[in-house]
Amino acid sequence: MTAEEKPLILIADPEPRTLDMIFEPDDLRRLHALGEVIVHADGSRLAAADLEAALASAKVVIGQVDLPAERLSRMPNLRGVINVEGNFLPNVDYDHCFAHGIHVLVTSPVFATSVAETALGMALDLSREITATHEAFRDGSEKWGLASNAGSFLLTGAKVGIVGLGDLGTALRRMLVPFHCEVRVYDPWQPERRILEQNCIPSGLDELLSASRVVFLFASSTSENQGFIGARELALMPKGAVLLLMSRAGIVDFPALEEALRSGHIRAGIDVFPVEPLSADAPLRKLDGVILSSHRSGGMRESFLEIGRLVLADTELLLRGLPPQICKRAERETVARMRSKPVEVS
Amino acid sequence: MTAEEKPLILIADPEPRTLDMIFEPDDLRRLHALGEVIVHADGSRLAAADLEAALASAKVVIGQVDLPAERLSRMPNLRGVINVEGNFLPNVDYDHCFAHGIHVLVTSPVFATSVAETALGMALDLSREITATHEAFRDGSEKWGLASNAGSFLLTGAKVGIVGLGDLGTALRRMLVPFHCEVRVYDPWQPERRILEQNCIPSGLDELLSASRVVFLFASSTSENQGFIGARELALMPKGAVLLLMSRAGIVDFPALEEALRSGHIRAGIDVFPVEPLSADAPLRKLDGVILSSHRSGGMRESFLEIGRLVLADTELLLRGLPPQICKRAERETVARMRSKPVEVS
Amino acid sequence: MTAEEKPLILIADPEPRTLDMIFEPDDLRRLHALGEVIVHADGSRLAAADLEAALASAKVVIGQVDLPAERLSRMPNLRGVINVEGNFLPNVDYDHCFAHGIHVLVTSPVFATSVAETALGMALDLSREITATHEAFRDGSEKWGLASNAGSFLLTGAKVGIVGLGDLGTALRRMLVPFHCEVRVYDPWQPERRILEQNCIPSGLDELLSASRVVFLFASSTSENQGFIGARELALMPKGAVLLLMSRAGIVDFPALEEALRSGHIRAGIDVFPVEPLSADAPLRKLDGVILSSHRSGGMRESFLEIGRLVLADTELLLRGLPPQICKRAERETVARMRSKPVEVS
Amino acid sequence: MTAEEKPLILIADPEPRTLDMIFEPDDLRRLHALGEVIVHADGSRLAAADLEAALASAKVVIGQVDLPAERLSRMPNLRGVINVEGNFLPNVDYDHCFAHGIHVLVTSPVFATSVAETALGMALDLSREITATHEAFRDGSEKWGLASNAGSFLLTGAKVGIVGLGDLGTALRRMLVPFHCEVRVYDPWQPERRILEQNCIPSGLDELLSASRVVFLFASSTSENQGFIGARELALMPKGAVLLLMSRAGIVDFPALEEALRSGHIRAGIDVFPVEPLSADAPLRKLDGVILSSHRSGGMRESFLEIGRLVLADTELLLRGLPPQICKRAERETVARMRSKPVEVS
């Protein structure tokens, strides 16, 4: 095979990721071994004509470059587009891709482990009042012994609800196995069978909220579910229950959540907010029964380096003429409903 | 069987536990169904002669009543003594019991789940800086995104050390399974085989401390291991490593631990202290990189109610002439080495 | 919704399956609740015009009816085609389906549990010489005690190879977990990552055969792998190793397999044959070290009833405008390479 | 420590085991490193006086040498006796040992894995009719496809009963985990709690037999349970159910078992017989629905080599003054009830 015949892998507009952030040196070497790699990224921009030429030859595109139908129609070799930001963005003509057998992929599964760890850590913390006790130590007001555990409960054997059994929910479910919880799942995009396979109970949302002492929110933000966890839903939760908001702020009615915390009805761990950073004078900062986290559950250096490994695995399959197996595929039926805002800063 | 022939179960000096605390009504009913139950406890004390008479007939004694050899020699029916406080105390003549086939049992396994949950919660919290970030939110100094995770690491795949693979360590080990950690164990009382069976690497203490990013201390306090985690040992730990002290304060050199925290060398979760409550002006209260907990990891209401269930299970076996299977037995070789202070207040 | 607006579900040419065989009454009722169900099957054939009319309206087609491009072009509502025989057949224009977003599905995962159970049963049987010993009892030649185990080995801890880590291989892998085997996998269609995720070692075929004491063959028959287990490959296996042929006869060179058995080099469990039924005078019937099975590892009544449940689950998703999640999808890249012969008789 | 001060380890009457059979060279070297090892065994017999002298000094005795009270009273250093045959024999004065803190141990857990594998292999074989189909191939009478599976059922999801949840039952229970069976356990020596911990349902014998499609018999033979599986019990089993007799022939009424097989009521895998070898003209040899096995489920070379490893692990602990942890201990309450016949030939 001559150099010209090597398949072209184009990295285009990977921002907010940088190559350093997502590829370990060895993984980058392995990518180069798969084909000719051309980079169009901050610090290494192609001229417009060169970019178009590269697009016209590319077999795999890695990054968030605009791919309207007109451009795609000039890309006859294209087999796959791999988004490394994490959300399916509207700058790709998905219909064209579906019609022409071009896989559009995201590497979002890389965040599952990290988010699930944080969610479990916060759940244990809130159910056992670890942070609250520690805060009491700071001002000398802590209680000792049995009295200190009056509001605590064991996660082991507790009834748990998971809203959204995608990558994140599945990762968390696995971490719950040793705790022998009864786990209810609400996920309208999943068939009952998938839920049962993970040893969970398919459930309606209201039933889940009423029955569970710990509820994990992992649902994507879609055109249909804005603010679907509101005052009515929070009121269904048992007193003292624990809510973990890990995915998207848009799915929760924040004023209602704040009120449920202020009244002491529930406790919550919150990693995402309607406006980030959270304003300095937000009342949430002073409430009891809450653990605040600055949209940091997923963004570990280790998770970002996983992106490169997923890209590598599926690029290899695509170039061998096989279907991708590792990244998450855009699906014709659901991609248009996704509503997550892209991340601006890694 | 006439009433007089029913085997006698004597509950004597269960303090600091009360019967309410350790028996759910239904479990107490089941105990009464097993034999004649006589109670000598706060609020229901027997006269001295009645107590001696009850002891002389008892088949099973539940509680921490003094059992010197002289008294034991007047107890021909005795098959088992079940301590409900949690530590083997020196007020029992163990040699007499071993020679006469009297099982001496403690219900300490009831605390394993609760302690392991707290230990895991603190480990996730410290490795991901959950409490520290939350404290920053309180004063508006939190960082956002990737920058906020500079000092965080995943538990998944991390190297972990467990010092003491008894009930507590075993419970924690099970909770670690989903995290695919490489786990080293130091436990001089366990054969290699038991350690390997739990998919751990038998290890010396120094090797464990040097290799592990998270170290759980579950060792009992014995006549041989006072302060064995000292300055030298703490210095072996990698910078930024996480230490969880869950069992007994006596095994750690506290001034050395405080120094290791102050210097930022390690982070720690601490549930036990040399003097409890911790003094109001203890410098530990102000350090970074620490989570403080008021000897509360085990003492959940749910754990105390487990005591009754363990008592019930082994009492039933003892009365049927079978060996006990659920509580922990005093062992001739090790009981004399135990050094835990009894708990005074539940 | 009026009756006319109910989505049309067309069952067409399900043979060799009958509706009784694949649907329990309750599942069939649930299918009818999802839409209007029209059946074109043995005993209930539509007139040609009625069939065309039903096809023209159908949202979901269940069965193996011919779907050339010309017919598909007259099916504007079609969202999915669910094959209930088990193999992707050449009578569907896949390109048309891919271009138009029509999912083509098979229910082959239903056989995974049943095949894996048989494979494990045969592997235990051959490694422990269960059937061979039983045959010796029949003629009074059995040995007793340790001597009888001279050729036996434990599966626990043995090195195992799996060729083909699809549904069947994955089901078997899960059943091997308690045996703590070192498992190598050869599967050129799977990325390393998927293999590692199942706690297996990605391996070349030769390495796998040389290293493994038990080898499971689950590979599909494709245009590229006819007879790829031949004399050279069998010779790589250690003496006394066990081979399980569970998927397709086409992947093995049968004369070479027969010779490897005759010489005593390996033992084998064989569920599929180049010509079925196996001829009455086939020498295979008389060899030692073999367990013969009449293409029956998958075809349990319980497996067939699973077909209906998979059909139901994905039909429901398709009619709700969601992507199917349970059946196996035809993939543009691989569907043309499949070479399995359709089954003629259930 | 001078040579004379090395603790004495006496191997005395290990028969029917030989040292070669139970110790790999490296394990034997490790045993010699623990103390002075003296051997009194076939091919290396001590003079009577030398044997008595060795007994008088021994800290650990390995083997089945007679240990009546009178001899034990001359053995002041003795900490443990490790039987390597597998059954607690009546030639040891257990009361003396219990009174003096001498541990009496057997290495029977070494057979658990091997027996459980055979039991599972036979259960899969019988439920799927693997051997029966193979026998049909031998005479050309096999059926093909679905018809061949008329009498088969999946183990996955089946209701299973385990009689005796000791080492063998526990090993089997672990192997059943991937099959998601509902498992009932009858074991009058185990508390409910131990049964529940293994995710089983504590059950009476009759309930277990009536409810289970596969029943594993692992019960020890005791003075109380001779023939407790008789005609009445076998009649409780559902038609077509599968019985695995793996532990001791004494617990089953064999004529009743034979009749239940002859009538086709149940199928069975049988590894132990009232008289071994089974007589050449035993009708059992000709019945359908049975798999016969010549008392060989446990006696693998690999199992025997495990004996040495268990001996090594507990000898090390005993010599360090710690309680043994690996072998099974004689219990004061149960040792006298054991009724197994010793094995005469390995």
Beta strands in chain A (DSSP E): 8-12, 36-40, 60-62, 80-83, 103-106, 159-163, 182-186, 201-202, 214-217, 241-245, 266-270, 290-292, 328-329
Neighbours of chain D (3+ CB pairs under 8 A): B, C
Place of tokens 């919150």: A270
DSSP state of B274: S
Strand partners, B291: B269
Average pLDDT for chain A: 95
Quick check: is A172 in a domain?
yes
With a CB-CB cutoff of 8 Å, which residues 251-310 of chain D face chain B? 309-310
Respond yes or no on whether the N-terminal peptide bond of residue C25 is cis (omega within 30° of 0): no
Question: Residue C228: exposed, middle, or buried by beta-carbon count in 10 A (0-12, 13-18, 19+)?
Answer: middle
Q: What residues of chain D lie within 8 A of the CB of B333, using their CB?
A: 321-323
Specify whether B66 is located in the same domain as B145.
no
Q: What residues of chain D lie within 8 A of the CB of B190, using their CB?
A: 325
Identify which of A36, A40, A30 has the alpha carbon closest to the alpha carbon of residue A64: A40
Q: What is the mean pLDDT of residues D166-188?
A: 97
Identify which of A152, A160, A133, A115 has the alpha carbon closest to the alpha carbon of residue A288: A133
Q: What is the largest CA-CA distance in chain A?
A: 76
Choosing among A78, A185, A332, A333, which should be mutated to test the C contact, i.e. which has the most C CBs within 10 A? A333
Q: How far apart are CA D180 and CA D192, in angstroms?
A: 20
Using DSSP's 3-state secondary structure scheme, residue D274 falls into: coil
Reported as a pLDDT band with limits 50, 70 and 90, residue B336 is: confident
Q: How far apart are CA D12 and CA D45, in angstroms?
A: 9
Cβ neighbours of D196 (radius 10 Å): 12
Domain that holds residue B148: 111-292
Number of domains in chain A: 2
Instruction: Summarize pLDDT for B164-194 with one digit per residue, the tens.
Output: 999 999 999 999 999 999 999 999 999 999 9
Choosing among B294, B305, B343, B344, which should be mutated to test the A contact, i.e. which has the most A CBs within 10 A? B294
Reported as a pLDDT band with limits 50, 70 and 90, residue B1 is: very low
Flag whether pLDDT at C137 surpasses 50.
yes
Quick check: is C346 in a domain?
no
- Beta strand C328-329 pairing with D8-12: unpaired
Quick check: is A344 in a domain?
no
**Cβ atoms B59, B8 nearer than 8 A:** yes
Q: Is D313 on the interface with B (CB under 8 A)?
A: yes
Q: What residues of chain C lie within 8 A of the CB of D128, using their CB?
A: 117-118, 121
**Cβ atoms A317, C187 nearer than 8 A:** no
Instruction: Summarize pLDDT for D25-74 with one digit per residue, the tens.
Output: 999 999 999 999 999 999 999 999 999 999 999 999 999 999 999 999 99
CB–CB contacts below 8 A, A to B: 166
Res C1: pLDDT: 42
Q: How far apart are CA B231 and CA B239, in angstroms?
A: 14
Q: How far apart are CA A152 and CA D99, in angstroms?
A: 46
Q: How far apart are CA A51 and CA A297, in angstroms?
A: 35
Identify which of C256, C255, C260, C247 has the alpha carbon closest to the alpha carbon of residue C295: C247
Identify which of A230, A269, A233 has the alpha carbon closest to the alpha carbon of residue A253: A230
Beta strands in B138-223 (DSSP E): 159-163, 182-186, 201-202, 214-217
Rg (CA), chain C: 23
Specify whether D10 is located in the same domain as D22.
yes
Is the Cβ pair D345, C121 closer than 8 Å? no
Q: Enter the tokens of residue B184.
A: 């080293």
Quick check: is A305 in a domain?
yes
Q: How far apart are CA A53 and CA A38, in angstroms?
A: 11
Is the Cβ pair C322, A314 closer than 8 Å? no
DSSP state of C163: E
Starting from the edge strand earliest in sequence, which strands make up the sheet with A290-292, in order?
A: A201-202, A182-186, A159-163, A214-217, A241-245, A266-270, A290-292
Is the Cβ pair C294, D145 closer than 8 Å? yes
**Cβ atoms D328, D212 nearer than 8 A:** no
Is the Cβ pair C118, D138 closer than 8 Å? no
- CA geometry: angle at D228 spanning D226 and D233, to 5°? 160
CATH code at position B245: 3.40.50.720
* B229: phi then psi, degrees, rounded to nearest 5: -100, 95
Specify whether C193 is located in the same domain as C76.
no
Specify whether D329 is located in the same domain as D270.
no
The amino acid sitting at A87 is N
Flag whether pLDDT at A3 surpasses 70.
no
Task: Say what percent of chain C tops pLDDT 70.
Answer: 97
Strand partners, B44: B41
Buried b (16+ CB within 10 A) or exposed e, D224-240: ebeebbbeebbebbeeb
Specify whether A333 is located in the same domain as A191.
no
Specify whether C120 is located in the same domain as C99.
no
Q: Is D317 on the interface with B (CB under 8 A)?
A: yes
Instruction: Summarize pLDDT for D82-136 with one digit per residue, the tens.
Output: 999 999 999 999 999 999 999 999 999 999 999 999 999 999 999 999 999 999 9
Instruction: Summarize pLDDT for A206-216 with one digit per residue, the tens.
Output: 999 999 999 99
Specify whether B15 is located in the same domain as B38.
yes
Strand partners, C266: C241
Q: What is the mean pLDDT of residues C263-277?
A: 97
Specify whether A176 is located in the same domain as A71.
no
Q: What is the mean pLDDT of residues B284-302?
A: 96
Quick check: is A345 in a domain?
no
Identify which of B247, B253, B346, B258 has the alpha carbon closest to the alpha carbon of residue B305: B346
Respond yes or no on whether the N-terminal peptide bond of residue B277 is cis (omega within 30° of 0): yes
Res B145: pLDDT: 80
Specify whether D190 is located in the same domain as D98.
no
Place of tokens 């799977």: C190
Specify whether A169 is located in the same domain as A275.
yes
Quick check: is A80 in a domain?
yes
With a CB-CB cutoff of 8 Å, which residues 158-187 of chain C face chain D? 174-175, 177-179
Identify which of A227, A343, A228 has the alpha carbon closest to the alpha carbon of residue A296: A343
Specify whether D76 is located in the same domain as D115.
no
Q: How far apart are CA C61 and CA C40, in angstroms?
A: 11
Strand partners, C40: C12
Region of residue D243 (left: phi > 0; alpha: psi -120 to 50; beta: else):
beta
Quick check: is C343 in a domain?
no
DSSP state of A158: -
Question: DSSP string covering D189-256, please?
Answer: TS-HHHHHHTT-EE--HHHHHHH-SEEEE-PPPBTT-TT-B-HHHHHHSPTTEEEEE-S-GGGB-HHH
Choosing among B21, B127, B137, which should be mutated to test the A contact, i.e. which has the most A CBs within 10 A? B137
Q: Enter the tokens of residue B87.
A: 């530590």
Instruction: Summarize pLDDT for A294-319 with one digit per residue, the tens.
Output: 999 999 999 999 999 999 999 999 99
Res A1: pLDDT: 42
Torsion of CA C217, C223, C225, C227, to 10 degrees: 90
Identify which of D270, D274, D267 has the alpha carbon closest to the alpha carbon of residue D293: D270
Using DSSP's 3-state secondary structure scheme, residue D319 falls into: helix
Flag whether pLDDT at D258 surpasses 80.
yes
Res C146: pLDDT: 83
Question: DSSP string covering C218-249, please?
Answer: -PPPBTT-TT-B-HHHHHHSPTTEEEEE-S-G
Q: Looking at chain D, list the stretches that DSSP marks H as alpha helix, in order from N- to C-terminal side.
A: 19-22, 25-34, 48-57, 69-72, 94-100, 112-128, 130-139, 167-176, 192-197, 205-211, 231-236, 254-262, 301-319
Task: Say what percent of chain B tops pLDDT 90.
Answer: 92
The amino acid sitting at A200 is C
**Cβ atoms D97, D72 nearer than 8 A:** yes
Using DSSP's 3-state secondary structure scheme, residue A270 falls into: strand
Res D178: pLDDT: 97
Reported as a pLDDT band with limits 50, 70 and 90, residue C340 is: low
Flag whether pLDDT at B245 surpasses 80.
yes
Average pLDDT for chain B: 95
Is the Cβ pair B114, A174 closer than 8 Å? no
Q: Enter the tokens of residue D233.
A: 């019990």
Specify whether C34 is located in the same domain as C150.
no
Complex prediction ipTM: 0.94
Buried b (16+ CB within 10 A) or exposed e, D27-40: bbebbeebbbbbbb
Quick check: is A140 in a domain?
yes
